[in-house]
Structure 1
Amino acid sequence: MPSLVGFTHGKSELIAALVQEAYADITRHMTEHTRAATGPREALHAYIRALVGYIAEHPKRMRTLMSVFLDHRAEDGGRSYDGGRRARCGRPGAASPGGGAAGG
């Protein structure tokens, strides 16, 4: 995880940076653990094992992300994460763990 020492932006930017780093880490993990799968059934099993494994290895990070998704408010008072996989606190077009775009 990159150092946030000297981070001079506001709370929303800090949270966005943390969410983006978490997504990048999850994406790396999922890619590493699913790339060898051949066929849809094996790919699904690999995906589930990789995701469950990541959650088990990083419970604190996942609780923090869930807190952001459920509780953090954007500057306009709306949720920063709307449940439709669109993170308002992330950069548009950033890859989400499910392979879609976080902002698109």
Structure 2
Amino acid sequence: MEIARTRRAAATEARRAQIASATIAVLAERGYAETTFEAICEHAGLSSKRLISYHFSTKEQLFEAVVGQVTADAAAFMRPRLDAATGARALLEAYIRANIAFVAAHPGHVRAIQQIVYNHVPVGGREHDAAIGRLVALFEDGQRAGTFRAFDGELMGTALRSAIDATADRVVNGHDADHCADELVEIFDRATRAEPS
């Protein structure tokens, strides 16, 4: 009985992930207005749009799953780079470079999120708040160690996330990712660095 329940749960998660991945692709290729359940079914090779509404009762729930999938993919991509960094300044640099590298490697993910944001779909708030919270913790650790100067960590985290999001648009549109990452690293290193005593 327990094995059957585990298999059903795994099959449900796999189907939800398949639908979310297809939605990312359709949003990126066709835009928000043309991301219909029919278009998602066609892209995913599903027999009926009822398979989507079975797993996601509203389009907002589906887009929340898309944000969750993009966040999970970004975290998996970035984790090795972040784990290799030692010290607050190195971690800040790794965070910026890993974000921009993810954007360059996954432009469809970025376009999908942009379509959701530009069309004012009220999803992704928890992921955004969690991202800012992780940056605040990084800044506070660096301030305690004397690596970073005193500043408002939440404001700096919001500025950094906003800068990365704005730069993502440039990278997706063909700007050199390494150059963009170099500039952001320089800007935020200067903004956060403690002056030598």
**TM-score calculated relative to the size of structure 2:** 0.38
8 Å contact kept, 1:30–1:47: yes
1:50 partnered with 2:98? yes
CA displacement at 1:28 relative to structure 2: 1.9
2:112 to 51, 56, 64: 64
8 Å contact kept, 1:23–1:97: no
Question: Considering only aligned residues, what root-mean-square deviation do their CA atoms show, in Å?
Answer: 2.6
CA displacement at 1:99 relative to structure 2: 5.8
Structure 2 regions of 5+ residues with no counterpart? Answer: 1-13, 20-45, 135-197
1:98 to 118, 122, 131: 131
Higher relative contact order (CA 8 A, sep 6+): 1
Task: Single out whichever of 50-59 and 3-12 deviates more from structure 2.
Answer: 3-12
SS in 2 for 1:100: helix
Distance 2:108 2:73 in 1: 14
Question: 1:70-85 maps to which residues of 2 (within 5 A)?
Answer: 70-73=118-121, 80=122
Q: Which residue of 2 aligns with 1:76?
A: none
Per-residue Cα deviation, 1:11-60 (whole angstroms, up to 9, x for no partner): 11111111111111112222222111101111111111111100000112
CA displacement at 1:100 relative to structure 2: 3.4
Equivalenced residues, count: 86
Q: Which residue of 1 aligns with 2:177?
A: none
Sequence identity of aligned pairs in percent?
Answer: 28
* Distance change (3 Å), C-alpha of 1:97 and 1:36: farther
Question: 1:21-36 maps to which residues of 2 (within 5 A)?
Answer: 21-36=69-84
* Distance change (3 Å), C-alpha of 1:100 and 1:29: farther
1:15 to 63, 88, 91: 63
User: Structure 1 or 2: larger helix share?
Assistant: 2
One-letter amino acid matched to 1:61: H
Distance 1:17 1:10 in 2: 11
CA displacement at 1:95 relative to structure 2: 7.5
Distance 2:117 2:93 in 1: 26
Greater than 4 Å deviation, 4+ residue runs: 94-97
CA displacement at 1:98 relative to structure 2: 2.4
* Distance change (3 Å), C-alpha of 1:100 and 1:28: farther
SS in 1 for 2:18: coil
1:39 partnered with 2:54? no
CA displacement at 1:69 relative to structure 2: 1.6
